[in-house]
């Protein structure tokens, strides 16, 4: 009989990954178009399987429906509403020991985890979902001296095929073309810097079967600055060849920027985001 006891401590074999840090750091800090890396089989196999099995279906209660011109996806970022094991995974990836590992990997000292999961948590996209190319917001909405520095995306998609699309595209800093793609396959993490011009997204609608979704856990890491960083909302970009669609992308970006400023000023919660964004994007599906 298998009597193996799994604990939060062995969700990730951190000591094994620390031993590989020299090569991982070299790859991360020299890759193009900006510092990034993808690592396969990152969680221990049992943990990845359990996280995938625990991943909740999209439901109205608690889920934020990001449905507007620039994106069509769904998010859940309230810890108390997440399945217990997903909470354990996030708690581990936000732990002091793991965040110190992230600082070593990225070369960015004194990273801080965001326990509020602002904009992060669980992300899920159905067939037809997309996220236009963008650079992320630069400052934590509720912690004004916290500058956003690094994204970690954990993918939990078994049997994801290339024809389903959904690759994370990393665009060059001048938005002339894609320089790297990361497929969202099971138990792979993508880590990358979130600079003013680290453009990324999945702009082509996902083509997975109707009974599948593209699932990920998104965690963002910050540094606390002595001076308040310049606030810049999510900066959506049109691709070369987008034509008249570029106008809609720009107008929608302005609407989202207005919401971001209001959110920061009033300190409102993201439970409002679905209603606000759907004004611009129409009825969610």
CA distance 166 to 125: 9
**pLDDT per position as a tens digit, 42-58:** 999 999 999 999 999 99
For position 8, what pLDDT does the model report? 67
Tell whether the model's pLDDT for residue 281 goes beyond 50: no
Tell whether the model's pLDDT for residue 285 goes beyond 50: no
Percent of the chain with pLDDT over 70: 87
The band of 283, judged by pLDDT with boundaries at 50, 70 and 90, is: very low
CA distance 211 to 158: 13
Tell whether the model's pLDDT for residue 94 goes beyond 50: yes
The band of 284, judged by pLDDT with boundaries at 50, 70 and 90, is: very low
Task: Tell me what the mean pLDDT of segment 112-117 comes to.
Answer: 96
**pLDDT per position as a tens digit, 3-22:** 555 666 689 999 999 999 99
**pLDDT per position as a tens digit, 55-80:** 999 976 789 988 899 999 999 999 99
Angle at 246 between CA 240 and CA 250, to 5 degrees: 130
pTM: 0.90
Side-chain-facing half-sphere of 23: CA atoms under 13 Å: 6
Better pLDDT: 161 or 280: 161
**pLDDT per position as a tens digit, 215-266:** 999 999 999 999 989 888 899 999 999 999 999 999 989 987 776 666 666 5
Task: Tell me what the mean pLDDT of segment 138-144 comes to.
Answer: 89
Neighbours of 60 (CB within 10 A): 9
**pLDDT per position as a tens digit, 162-190:** 999 999 999 999 999 999 999 999 999 99
Could you please report the per-residue DSSP string of the chain?
Answer: -------GGGSS-HHHHHHTHHHHHHHHHH-SSSSEEEEES-S-HHHHHHHHHHPPPP-TTT-EEEEETTEEEEEE--GGGS-HHHHHHHHHHTSHHHHHHHHHHHT-TT-EE-TT-TT-EEEEE-TT-EEEEEE--SB-SS-TTEEEEEEEEEE--TT--GGG--PEEEE-TTSS-EEEEE---TTEEEEEE--TT--EEE-SPP---TT--EEEEEEEEEEE-SSPPPP---EE-PPTT-TTHHHHHHHHHHHHHHHHHHHHHHT--GGGHHHHHHHHH-S--
Better pLDDT: 261 or 33: 33
Q: What is the largest CA-CA distance in the chain?
A: 63
Question: What average pLDDT does the structure give for the chain?
Answer: 90
For position 23, what pLDDT does the model report? 97
Closest CA to 36 of 195, 219, 222: 195
Token reading at 151: 């994204």
């Amino acid at each position: 009989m298998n009597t193996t006891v799994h604990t939060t401590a062995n969700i990730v074999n951190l000591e094994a990954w620390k031993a590989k840090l020299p090569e991982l750091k070299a790859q991360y800090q020299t890759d193009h178009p900006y510092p990034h890396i993808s690592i396969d089989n990152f969680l221990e196999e049992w943990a990845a399987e359990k996280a995938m099995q625990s991943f909740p279906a999209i439901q109205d209660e608690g889920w934020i429906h990001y449905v507007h011109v620039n994106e069509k996806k769904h998010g859940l970022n309230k810890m108390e509403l997440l399945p217990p094991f997903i909470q354990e995974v996030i708690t581990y990836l936000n732990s002091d020991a793991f965040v110190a590992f992230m600082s070593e990997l990225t070369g960015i000292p004194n990273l801080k985890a965001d326990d509020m999961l602002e904009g992060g948590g669980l992300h899920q996209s159905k067939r037809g979902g997309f996220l236009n190319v963008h650079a992320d917001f630069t400052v934590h909405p509720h912690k004004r001296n916290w500058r956003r520095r690094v994204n970690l995306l954990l993918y939990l998609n078994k049997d994801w095929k290339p024809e389903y699309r959904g690759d994370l595209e990393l665009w060059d800093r001048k938005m002339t073309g894609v320089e790297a793609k990361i497929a969202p396959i099971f138990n792979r993490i993508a880590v990358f810097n979130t600079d003013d011009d680290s453009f990324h997204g999945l702009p082509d609608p996902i083509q997975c079967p109707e009974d599948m979704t593209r699932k990920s856990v998104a965690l963002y890491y910050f540094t606390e600055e002595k001076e308040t960083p310049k606030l810049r909302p999510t900066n959506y970009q049109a691709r070369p060849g987008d034509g008249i669609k570029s106008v809609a992308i720009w107008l929608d970006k302005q609407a989202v920027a207005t919401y971001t400023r209001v959110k920061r000023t009033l300190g409102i919660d993201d439970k409002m985001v679905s209603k606000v964004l759907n004004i611009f994007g129409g009825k969610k599906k």
